[in-house]
Structure 1
Amino acid sequence: MKSFDNITRIQVLNDLLEQELHDLGLSDLTPSQRDVYFAAWMGSNAQGEVTSVAMRSHRGLARMPTATFHRCLKALVDLNFLSRPYGSKAKKFIVNVSSGKSGNRLSQ
């Protein structure tokens, strides 16, 4: 009986997570893109700046192939979840915070 209670709790948590991802505008991203975005968020400084090296060091990306990582970075830039600072080097990014389906971005 206890395992059913655990499964129910996991399902409730999963439902909450799905709703939060939707509310933040992240539900249309692939799981790999979400992992890279979360790594960028966790590795960013107060201004939202992060390097690809900091992202790659995140434990959630440890097993992600390099090619997949770079495809995700490109997709996230194309979708405006990440941007490049004006005049920056190739490895620097700014994390744009999603505010939902409206496409608006908030500052951190």
Structure 2
Amino acid sequence: MNTIAKLTELKKLMMSMENALGLNDLSKVERDVYCAACELTDESGRVRTMDMLEHTFVLNVSRPTFFRALKSLLKKGLLSNNGVEGRGWYYVKVTTANAND
């Protein structure tokens, strides 16, 4: 199997996993921001905006686009902020399918 064929199979697998997790309704930027947040979440379930902005998945995303995606993820309930820690801290809601792993 050549490299492109392997990449194609990997992409199909990733799309299938995103669908299973209910992430297929998110835009590419929203998925990238959400995945970055999931990876960077600390032991208390929090993630900082500044850390997400420096993550590999969103390095090429403009700040306004990043913050629009962040706002959208808040609206969709995948991220939340309770205001206790102040600005710049978010809690990641782990999808039901992901919580079983």
Q: Shorter-chain-normalised TM-score: which range?
A: 0.7 to 0.9
The answer to whether the Cα contact below 8 Å between 1:25 and 1:99 also exists between their aligned partners in 2 is no
Change (3 A) 1:56 1:107: farther
Q: 1:99 aligns with which of 90, 96, 99?
A: 96
Q: Which amino acid aligns with 1:84?
A: N
1:54 corresponds to: 51
The answer to whether the Cα contact below 8 Å between 1:40 and 1:55 also exists between their aligned partners in 2 is yes
1:12 corresponds to: 9
Post-superposition Cα deviations, 1:41-89, rounded to whole Å, max 9, x if no partner, equal 1111012101101111112211211100110010000001101135331
Task: Identify unmatched segments of 5+ residues in structure 2.
Answer: none
Root mean square deviation, CA, Å:
2.1
Q: 2:29 aligns with which of 23, 28, 32?
A: 32
Task: Identify unmatched segments of 5+ residues in structure 1.
Answer: none
Q: 2:73 aligns with which of 70, 73, 76?
A: 76
Q: Separation in 1 of the partners of 2:56 and 2:16?
A: 24
1:90 corresponds to: 87
Post-superposition Cα deviations, 1:1-30, rounded to whole Å, max 9, x if no partner, equal xxx633322221111111100011111110
What TM-score comes out, normalization by structure 2 length? 0.87
What TM-score comes out, normalization by structure 1 length? 0.82
Identity of aligned residues (%): 28
- Number of equivalenced pairs: 101
Q: Separation in 1 of the partners of 2:37 and 2:18?
A: 16
| Offset, 1:34 | 0.7
